Amino acid sequence: MQSYWQSIVRHSYKTNASWIIINHFRNKNWGWRPFFLQNIVNMDMNQKGFLSDLYRDIETTELIQTFSFPVLENTYLFIDLHIP
């Protein structure tokens, strides 16, 4: 059974001309991210997507914003946007 706030798909990102698939993030809990709970509540109430405030990735220190969008009931899409 899938618990709340866990990734249910593989993560992927594009570098130059190829896509990289990262399997080890599957089933990770992302509830610790600073925008997470607030955006879940907002998406449930308003049924629309939200863009997080800027924050630094804990591993890479890159500047990021995350777009969150409700897909199905209790299922959300999160897209990290790396800010140059």
Number of folded domains that form the chain? 1
- Measure the CA–CA gap between 39 and 47, rounded to whole angstroms: 11
pTM exceeds 0.75: no
Tell whether the torsion through CA atoms of 18, 26, 49 and 60 is positive or negative. negative
CA atoms of 70 and 48, how far apart (whole Å): 7
Could you identify the residue written with the tokens 């599957």? Answer: 26
Q: Is residue 2 part of a domain?
A: no
Q: Which domain holds residue 21?
A: 11-82
Residue 56 within any structural domain of the chain: yes
- Asked if 36 and 28 count as a contact pair (C-beta separation under 8 A), the reply is no
Residue 45 lies in a domain: yes
pLDDT tens, position by position, 14-73: 778 888 777 666 666 667 777 778 888 888 899 999 888 898 988 889 898 988 899 888
Whether 1 maps to a domain, the answer reads no
21 inside domain = yes
